Amino acid sequence: MADIQIQKITLNEIEQLQKIGRQTFQETFSESNSEENMKDYLDKGFATEKLTEELTNKDSEFYFATLDNEVIGYLKVNFGASQTELKDDKALEIERIYVLKEFHGKKVGQLLYDKAIEVARQKNNDYVWLGVWEENLRAIGFYTKNGFIEFDKHIFKLGDEEQTDIMMKLKLTN
């Protein structure tokens, strides 16, 4: 897996972002959620207008993980006012790290995570935080392994269902 590239996504790549975003969200959550709620979230969350707004926001960045020019995962980070909750100028939020199921366990998520930490350090952030669904034990294990600790919970709405996310953070040391 040494040939995996991490690169910043531009507006020209919005269709690839839509495709990987929908596919990885579906793979990750379809078994645990109703078809209607999944469709609703995928239609709204990955609408061209919404992604255009996110891609052109100066306080958000997206990165692709590619292998042989094929997109296999992506990362979204937010800073400042773009953060979904804390909106702390000294923090970076990892909003999304998603990898195609066939590449799970192949260090792709770790490379995307490492990129998020690199961006946080470049921006002189004090800590990195995120929210992860309490039933996504794989992701919770990944973040715990990387030194994150739970500090709160919040509600994430998926269609008509309320789900609990565990909020986790990692203090950065210089």
Reported in sequence order, the residue ranges of 68-126 that DSSP labels E, i.e. its strands, are 70-79, 91-99
C-alpha to C-alpha distance for 132 and 95, rounded to whole angstroms? 9
How far is 50 from 47, CA to CA, in rounded Å? 5
Task: Give dist(CA 84, CA 79) in Å, integer.
Answer: 9
Of the listed 63, 74, 98, 143, which one is catalytic?
143
- 143 as an active site residue: the answer is yes
Describe the crossing of helices 14-29 and 35-45 by its angle, rounded to 10 degrees: 160
Q: Which helix (H) or strand (E) covers residue 20, if one does?
A: helix 14-29
Q: Give CA–CA dist 60/53, Å, rounded.
A: 10
Alpha-carbon distance of 75 to 63, in angstroms, equals: 5
Residues annotated as part of the active site: 143
